Amino acid sequence: MRRTEAPPLATWLLEHGIPGDYDEALAGDLLEEFRSGRSDGWFWRQVLAACAVSWGRSLRARIPLFVFALIWSMMAPAWKVFTDGIESALSIDRILQSFGPVWVFAALAVWLLLNSIFLWAGISVFVLFQAGLREVFRGKMLRRAFLLASLIFLPIYGVTWVWGSLYWYSFFANTKMATTPLGQIADLQMLSGAIRLPYFIALFAALWSAVPQSIRTSQLQLVDSPPIESSTPYDSLQPESTLGVYTVKRFFGLMVGAGLINAMLAGILLCRLPGFYSPTFSTLLVRSILHIVIGVIAGVGGSWLYWKNPSSPIRERSPIPFPLFALICASGWIWVPPMAIFSEQLSPATAIVAAIGAGFLAIGLRYATFSVFAPAVPAASYESEDDELFSQSLYRAPWEAQGYVITFLLYAGGCALAMRLNLIAAALFALCAFLFAWNRTFARDQDLDARREYKRAALRLALVFIPAILVTIWALLDGVAHRNYIAGVNAARSTAEAASANEDASEQTKSPPSATGISGYQSVILWPVPEKKRILPPLPPQPSFLAHGTTKPLIIKFDGPYWYFQPPHKGPSPRAFQVRGTPLVHDFQTNNFASLIMEAHQTLGTSIPLARCREIQVGLLNSDNRRGIINLAVLLADSSSPGRSQLYIGQQPVASSLPANFGFKSKPAGETLRFPIPNPAKIRKFDQITVMFFPDASNYDIGPKVAIDQFQLIPR
């Protein structure tokens, strides 16, 4: 007797094993054929073939998802290093500790959130950059993708971690990741691949499940729809584009951004100062022209790559042709090389040049896109309020929201400039100039002629060419002067300290000095205010201390300088800002992300035999009211011995800043730290005492408000 029911497992597979919506017609056809006399084997073959065909189609339709997920997950190692840094921060530990016994779940939530941000950013970028996806992929779909990405990532990461730990632990343990973000992204080692895998799977799966299959059809229709009738794009501008204003604006923004990034990269990598100590004008002129050409070519090239991208909707239906777009943008890119050169010198001129370039770019783009965007209309004058008493004299200012934005950007840029954050100031000023120029550029007439626009763009480029050359020459001259000065200072320093083989000097010669920011100075030396009629150092020889059997401690009042500097330097530069005072009243803080190093240096004037000294007691005054542990380390040095031998005798926390003893100090709290001296030691005598201050990670950028009062040398 022939069976009337198909194999249940095959039927289940047909219903659930095929991606997308269940195909009822296909299932009905297979069942009809089966009931007409086909075998179980035939049914199974049909089901498996249907699954294979369906999965193949789905995969082909989602190739953009696959490629995007692959590219985005390439950045995963760099993101992981970044998140590891956040997770290991002391402040995060403190927050987690506040959760008590459930801190593990809180830590897991933080970890998942940090990794989800990477995946969510990927989904957002994909949606933003996919033409035609905007209408389909919104709201519920987007939320679904976000949720799925996080939910999928956790188990996949767990499986990858277990798998890697079980089978590849020894291999991974010996693998080191690149130190720079770029190196981590380009790293193709097994370890980086293993890190990327869960991110790739989670992103691909989230996009797969959230992007409906019909998107392919909609994209197909977008591509296949007939192009709008027009003559050659070089003859006339299209008065009305079939693309929406939002699409055009978004893609124009993308083209400009791509060109800007490309020009910036080329400027940073290729625009170098001349190697001569005193370059001639012709050298500077030729180099300036070369740099500007590099900037323009790189900018236009970057835009062209995105413009000609197959997924770009303006590739075929752009409101303006690419040559005109490139000509317009060139008057903006031309300012990027001098901006890059200025930025390397941390010059405030970076912001000014950026604003000029952005202004020219906005004017050009505004003129050429009147056909797409609504032309700006001059703001109406003050309106009178005719329904009020004394209406003749009452006026109401027109509402211009962008005016407030521009003003805010201007103030924010000024603040950034005052804080020496030149690149941020450049970005803010550039945005401000762009908005202002965009809003204040009005159409002369509505009939746009391509030839006239070409002429106008070419004329604008010609007009800015000479000023751009001059600004670039200025940037090069400034850079050469800066470089020569630094070289001179380093040479003088090396010569002066060559005899003592000062490794600090050689280190500073190797590494180019950068204008780091400690309260606006590269480095600081804080000298104590001298006390009148008390001259202690150089320390007079005290036979009583040196004599055997003496138990009276030697008290040395601290009168040395405090050094404030930043790594990689090992001391303040010759141009260090010098001021008198005490750390109790002076605040020093970095304005960059490098840590601040604080040291107190005491020179004794005469050498003290180490064998005679049992302990050094450091008396200090603490008025630091920030929470966090402050450790003090003591180094003893013998300047007379070759190689300047040093002895580290340990570090101890400042008790009054320990969490258990912490309290607000209205006046400095005095305390003494004891540092026993080891015996035997690698140096026999010392004439310098260095105290290094180590605040905890949360206060890495602030000089502790702790002052050294005195040293007590306890005889042995």
Partner 1 sequence: MSDRSYLGEFELMILLAVLHLGDEAYGVPISRELERHRRRDISVGSVYAALERLESKGLVASSLGDPTPERGGKAKRYFRVTKEGLRQVHETRRVLTGLWRALPDPKLDPKLDLP
Q: Looking at beta carbons only, is 19 or 375 nearer to partner 1?
A: 19
For the segment 113-142, give every residue that binds partner 1 (CB under 8 A). Answer: none
CA distance 290 to 297: 11
Kindly state whether residue 21 participates in binding partner 1, applying the rule CB under 8 A. no
Total site size for partner 1, rule CB under 8 A: 25
Kindly state whether residue 28 participates in binding partner 1, applying the rule CB under 8 A. yes
Binding partner 1 (rule: CB under 8 A), the pick from 13, 27, 156, 486 is 27
Kindly state whether residue 387 participates in binding partner 1, applying the rule CB under 8 A. no
Among 30-38, 158-166, 447-455, 501-509, the segment contacting partner 1 (CB under 8 A): 30-38
Binding partner 1 (rule: CB under 8 A), the pick from 1, 2, 8, 25 is 25
Residue 43 · residue 76 · CB < 8 Å: no
Q: Looking at beta carbons only, is 217 or 391 nearer to partner 1?
A: 217
Q: Given its phi and psi angles, is residue 644 left (phi above 0), alpha (psi -120 to 50 degrees) or beta?
A: left
CB of 47 to partner 1, least distance (A): 8
Kindly state whether residue 151 participates in binding partner 1, applying the rule CB under 8 A. no
CB of 355 to partner 1, least distance (A): 49
Kindly state whether residue 211 participates in binding partner 1, applying the rule CB under 8 A. no
Kindly state whether residue 477 participates in binding partner 1, applying the rule CB under 8 A. no
Binding partner 1 (rule: CB under 8 A), the pick from 57, 134, 626, 644 is 57
Binding partner 1 (rule: CB under 8 A), the pick from 9, 12, 29, 451 is 29
CA distance 320 to 332: 17
CB of 310 to partner 1, least distance (A): 17
Q: Looking at beta carbons only, is 55 or 146 nearer to partner 1?
A: 55
Kindly state whether residue 32 participates in binding partner 1, applying the rule CB under 8 A. yes
Q: β-strands 706-715, 685-695: how paired?
A: unpaired
CB of 314 to partner 1, least distance (A): 22
DSSP 3-state percent helix, strand, coil across the chain (nearest 5): 55, 15, 30
Kindly state whether residue 219 participates in binding partner 1, applying the rule CB under 8 A. no
Binding partner 1 (rule: CB under 8 A), the pick from 46, 312, 369, 657 is 46
Q: Where does residue 453 rank: exposed (0-12), middle (13-18), buried (19+ CB within 10 A)?
A: buried
Kindly state whether residue 39 participates in binding partner 1, applying the rule CB under 8 A. no
CB of 51 to partner 1, least distance (A): 8
Kindly state whether residue 143 participates in binding partner 1, applying the rule CB under 8 A. no
Q: Give the three-state DSSP class for 501.
A: coil
Structure tokens at 275: 């190697």
Q: β-strands 597-609, 562-565: how paired?
A: antiparallel
Kindly state whether residue 65 participates in binding partner 1, applying the rule CB under 8 A. no
Handedness of CA 293, 296, 302, 308 (dihedral sign): negative
**HEC sequence for 390-450:** CHHHCEECCCCHHHHHHHHHHHHHHHHHHCCCHHHHHHHHHHHHHHHHHHHCECCCCCCEH
Kindly state whether residue 1 participates in binding partner 1, applying the rule CB under 8 A. no
CB of 50 to partner 1, least distance (A): 3
Kindly state whether residue 23 participates in binding partner 1, applying the rule CB under 8 A. yes
Neighbours of 271 (CB within 10 A): 25
Residue 359 · residue 246 · CB < 8 Å: no
Kindly state whether residue 3 participates in binding partner 1, applying the rule CB under 8 A. no
Kindly state whether residue 489 participates in binding partner 1, applying the rule CB under 8 A. no
Kindly state whether residue 13 participates in binding partner 1, applying the rule CB under 8 A. no
CA distance 298 to 318: 21
Kindly state whether residue 224 participates in binding partner 1, applying the rule CB under 8 A. yes
CB of 298 to partner 1, least distance (A): 37
Kindly state whether residue 26 participates in binding partner 1, applying the rule CB under 8 A. yes
Binding partner 1 (rule: CB under 8 A), the pick from 10, 30, 437, 461 is 30
Binding partner 1 (rule: CB under 8 A), the pick from 10, 50, 74, 554 is 50
CB of 309 to partner 1, least distance (A): 22
Binding partner 1 (rule: CB under 8 A), the pick from 51, 141, 177, 290 is 51
Q: List beta partners, residue 203.
A: none
Q: How many CA atoms lie within 13 A of 313 on its CB side?
A: 26
Q: In the β-sheet with 669-676, what is the strand arrangement from edge to edge?
A: 554-557, 706-715, 613-622, 669-676
Among 29-37, 102-110, 299-307, 387-395, the segment contacting partner 1 (CB under 8 A): 29-37
Residue 63 · residue 32 · CB < 8 Å: no
| Burial 93-115, CB ≥16 within 10 A → b, else e | eeebeeeeeeeeebbeebbeebb
CB of 219 to partner 1, least distance (A): 11
Binding partner 1 (rule: CB under 8 A), the pick from 3, 9, 15, 35 is 35
Among 31-39, 314-322, 510-518, 565-573, the segment contacting partner 1 (CB under 8 A): 31-39
Neighbours of 205 (CB within 10 A): 19
Select from 362, 372, 137, 128 the least CA-distant residue to 243.
372
User: What is 546-583 written as a DSSP string?
Assistant: HSTT--PPEEEE----EEEE-TT-SS--TT-EEEES-T
Among 44-52, 104-112, 115-123, 169-177, the segment contacting partner 1 (CB under 8 A): 44-52
Q: In the β-sheet with 597-609, what is the strand arrangement from edge to edge?
A: 577-580, 524-527, 562-565, 597-609, 685-695, 630-638, 645-653
Kindly state whether residue 217 participates in binding partner 1, applying the rule CB under 8 A. yes
Enumerate binding residues for partner 1 (CB under 8 A): 23-33, 35, 42, 45-46, 49-54, 57, 217, 220, 224
